[in-house]
């Protein structure tokens, strides 16, 4: 009997090679798109589930096939560690990947950090899937091939991020996601923050009966939460209800829909209001969680909108605009962590979590490890770092295009970069191009343009950057993985459980 590693004609990703009782599987390392190889006893019926070209070798059949959706599904059926699973309350990190080639680098970062953080390797919001023209299934399958390539057997979750409608839920349930992030942000009324008591009384009159403030049972109640006093006088409760009760009702409806759609398949839930305009006060967090619980929602993590700014791909910015100044955040976050312990326990989730280096230690400590870090866009920036190193003119072209797109693309993101502070593309020397990825303004400009870059078309209808970018990253796969490993090691280390 031969084994795959003895086939001199094929070069494998060494960690992908794995044998089961019936067959041996491996991922073939080619300069272009990788291939799946299977070696099995001739006549093994399992082979029928796979696509590819079969050849006979003595008593065995060798099948070489594409990394297609059908082959991903068949491989998932045979190798249980390729199926996403629940992470529960373990310290966890979501590593989103907009290109579909980042998972190998993500796996290496998780391993290097110590391997105890529960990872999510398939993660994309519906908005980002639309922007990158990918489907929930593609996101899932791309993560699978990366996990397979690197031989990661430690398990991973799959996060259907920022779901807003029942149709979003259905699409992601069908693709096998296990972690669902419900975003009721469109139902949050930010005006409530500055409304008078008179206006709040009028506003709550209009609320649906099941989320009227009186139904919460909180009016007039006081709570001591690890030394922090919360009192629900009329103004506090009505403000919280006016701001969040429609969001609560939306989450409850989405949750019921999800339970029905998932049937007997287990799943876990996150609730996020991180993309709203005004911070979630501790009283509002308490109200929100207490109401979700009253309506029967079960969740593992929650993303309030914290004080200050979590902009894309840059460090934390304090309420008074200072980068990396964490005093106000630490004080506010400590109370949120205490509420999450008391009303759950559930994890606090840090969205737009990339590059928030100054808050990681604070978050890990205050939550005592009940924390989820969510990142996505900077994996794309590390891809651009590989481009800047080996194809400077392509990088310059992408940067010039990102600048053109900035005022349009910034509308749906929290960013404060200014075009007049970002260097002009033509004046940057070739050797200085990578530094554009580290300058605040150019970094944000490059960050949010990913969708425009990946889907831009030439007048002839060809993809303007996508094909070149993907080809380059496949050839430079080791460089890209090394960039990602170094980048995310800095993110994960502060969270690694001791
Ligand atoms: Zn988010």
% of the chain at pLDDT higher than 70: 100
Q: Are residues 184 and 55 in the same domain?
A: no
Q: In what order do the strands lie in the sheet with 60-66?
A: 18-19, 23-28, 35-41, 60-66, 53-57
pLDDT of residue 287: 98
pLDDT of residue 220: 98
Domain containing residue 234: CATH number: 3.20.20.70
- Residue 263 Cα, ligand 1 centroid: separation in angstroms? 26
pLDDT of residue 8: 84
Measured distance CA(379)–CA(158) in Å, rounded:
17
pLDDT grade for 275, boundaries at 50, 70 and 90:
confident
Residues 407/440, Cβ–Cβ less than 8 Å: no
Q: Is 275 helix (H, G, I), strand (E, B) or coil?
A: coil
- Residue 347 Cα, ligand 1 centroid: separation in angstroms? 15
Q: Are residues 187 and 299 in the same domain?
A: yes
Q: Are residues 61 and 182 in the same domain?
A: no
- Residue 442 Cα, ligand 1 centroid: separation in angstroms? 22
pLDDT of residue 211: 95
Instruction: Give ion ligand 1 contacts, CB < 5 A.
Output: 274, 351
- Whether the bond between 29 and the residue before it is cis, its omega within 30 degrees of 0, is no
Q: Are residues 211 and 155 in the same domain?
A: yes
Q: Please state the rounded mean pLDDT for residues 17-26.
A: 95
Measured distance CA(300)–CA(271) in Å, rounded:
9
Q: Are residues 208 and 238 in the same domain?
A: yes
Q: Please state the rounded mean pLDDT for residues 184-204.
A: 96
Q: Are residues 118 and 234 in the same domain?
A: yes
Q: Residue 58 carries which DSSP code?
A: T
pLDDT of residue 459: 95
- Residue 439 Cα, ligand 1 centroid: separation in angstroms? 23
Q: Please state the rounded mean pLDDT for residues 391-395.
A: 97
Q: Please state the rounded mean pLDDT for residues 211-236.
A: 97
pLDDT of residue 94: 98
What Cα–Cα distance (Å) separates residue 426 from each residue in 255, 393, 423, 429, 442?
51, 10, 9, 8, 14
For residue 69, being part of any structural domain is answered with yes
Residue 498 pLDDT greater than 80, yes or no: no
Q: Please state the rounded mean pLDDT for residues 38-47.
A: 96
pLDDT of residue 389: 97
pLDDT of residue 449: 96
Final residue before a domain boundary, out of 78, 96, 119: 78
Q: Are residues 98 and 28 in the same domain?
A: no
Task: List, by residue number, the catalytic residues.
Answer: 161, 270
Q: Are residues 188 and 316 in the same domain?
A: yes
- pTM to 2 decimals? 0.96
Residue 1 pLDDT greater than 80, yes or no: no
DSSP assignment of 443-497 equals: HHHHHHTHHHHHH-B-TTS-BSSHHHHHHHHHHTHHHHHHHHHHHHHHHHGGG--
Rounded to the nearest 10 degrees, the angle between the axes of helix 234-262 and helix 282-294 is: 40
Task: Classify residue 90 as exposed, middle or buried by CB count within 10 Å of its CB (0-12, 13-18, 19+).
Answer: middle
Residue carrying structure tokens 């030439």: 458
pLDDT of residue 71: 98
Q: What's the domain range around 138?
A: 86-378+491-495
Q: Are residues 172 and 60 in the same domain?
A: no
Q: Are residues 51 and 125 in the same domain?
A: no
| Residue 243: HSE in the Cβ half-sphere, 13 Å Cα cutoff | 27
Q: Within a 10 A sphere around the Cβ of 67, how many other Cβ atoms?
A: 19
**Phi/psi at 287 (5° precision):** -60, -50
Q: Are residues 136 and 217 in the same domain?
A: yes
Q: Are residues 343 and 298 in the same domain?
A: yes
Mean residue pLDDT across the chain: 96
Residue 2 pLDDT greater than 90, yes or no: no
pLDDT grade for 334, boundaries at 50, 70 and 90:
very high
- Residue 274 Cα, ligand 1 centroid: separation in angstroms? 6
Final residue before a domain boundary, out of 35, 51, 78: 78
Query: Hey, what's the torsion of the CAs at 325, 112, 118, 129, to 10 degrees?
Result: 80
- Residue 378 Cα, ligand 1 centroid: separation in angstroms? 14
pLDDT of residue 17: 97
Number of structural domains the chain divides into: 2
For residue 184, being part of any structural domain is answered with yes
pLDDT of residue 172: 97
- Residue 142 Cα, ligand 1 centroid: separation in angstroms? 21
């Amino acid at each position: 009997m031969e084994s795959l590693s003895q086939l001199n004609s094929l070069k494998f990703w060494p960690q992908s090679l794995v044998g089961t009782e019936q067959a041996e599987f491996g991922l073939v390392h080619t300069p272009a798109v990788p291939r799946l190889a299977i070696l099995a006893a001739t006549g093994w019926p399992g082979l029928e589930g796979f696509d590819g070209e079969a050849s006979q070798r003595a008593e065995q059949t060798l099948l070489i096939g594409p990394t297609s959706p059908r082959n991903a599904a068949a491989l998932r059926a045979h190798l249980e560690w390729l199926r996403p699973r629940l992470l529960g309350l373990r310290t966890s990190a979501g590593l989103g990947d907009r290109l579909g080639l980042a998972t190998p680098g993500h796996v290496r970062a998780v391993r290097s950090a110590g391997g105890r953080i529960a990872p999510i390797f398939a993660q994309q919001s519906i908005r980002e899937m639309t922007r990158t023209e990918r489907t929930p299934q593609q996101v899932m399958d791309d993560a699978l091939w990366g996990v397979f390539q690197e031989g990661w057997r430690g398990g991973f979750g799959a996060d259907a991020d920022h779901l807003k409608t029942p149709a979003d839920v259905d699409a992601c349930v069908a693709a096998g996601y296990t972690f669902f992030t419900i975003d009721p942000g469109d139902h949050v009324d930010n005006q409530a923050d500055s409304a008078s008591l008179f206006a709040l009384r009028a506003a709550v009159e209009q609320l649906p009966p099941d989320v009227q403030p009186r139904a919460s049972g909180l009016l007039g109640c006081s709570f001591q939460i690890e030394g922090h006093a919360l009192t629900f006088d009329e103004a506090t409760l009505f403000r919280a209800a006016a701001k969040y009760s429609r969001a609560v009702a939306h989450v409850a409806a989405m949750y019921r829909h999800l339970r029905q759609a998932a049937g007997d398949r287990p799943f876990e839930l996150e609730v996020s209001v991180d993309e709203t305009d005004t911070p979630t006060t501790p009283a509002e967090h308490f109200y929100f969680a207490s109401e979700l619980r009253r309506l029967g929602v079960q969740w593992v993590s929650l993303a309030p909108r914290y004080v200050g700014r979590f902009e894309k791909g840059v460090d934390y910015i304090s309420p008074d605009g200072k980068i990396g100044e964490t005093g106000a955040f630490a004080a506010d976050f400590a109370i949120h962590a205490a509420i999450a312990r008391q009303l759950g326990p559930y994890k606090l989730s840090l969205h737009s979590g990339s590059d928030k280096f100054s808050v990681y230690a604070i978050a890990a400590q205050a939550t005592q490890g009940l924390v989820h870090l969510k990142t996505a866009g900077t994996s794309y920036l590390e891809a651009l770092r590989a481009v800047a190193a080996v194809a400077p003119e392509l990088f310059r072209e992408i940067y010039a295009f990102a600048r053109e797109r900035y005022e349009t693309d910034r509308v749906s993101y929290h960013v404060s970069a200014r075009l007049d502070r970002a260097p002009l593309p033509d004046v940057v020397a070739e050797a200085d191009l990578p530094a554009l990825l580290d300058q605040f303004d150019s970094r944000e400009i490059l960050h949010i343009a990913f969708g425009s870059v990946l889907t831009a078309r030439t007048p002839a209808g060809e993809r303007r950057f996508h094909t070149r970018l993907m080809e380059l990253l496949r050839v430079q796969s080791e460089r890209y993985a090394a960039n990602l490993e170094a980048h995310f090691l800095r993110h994960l280390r502060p969270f690694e459980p001791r």
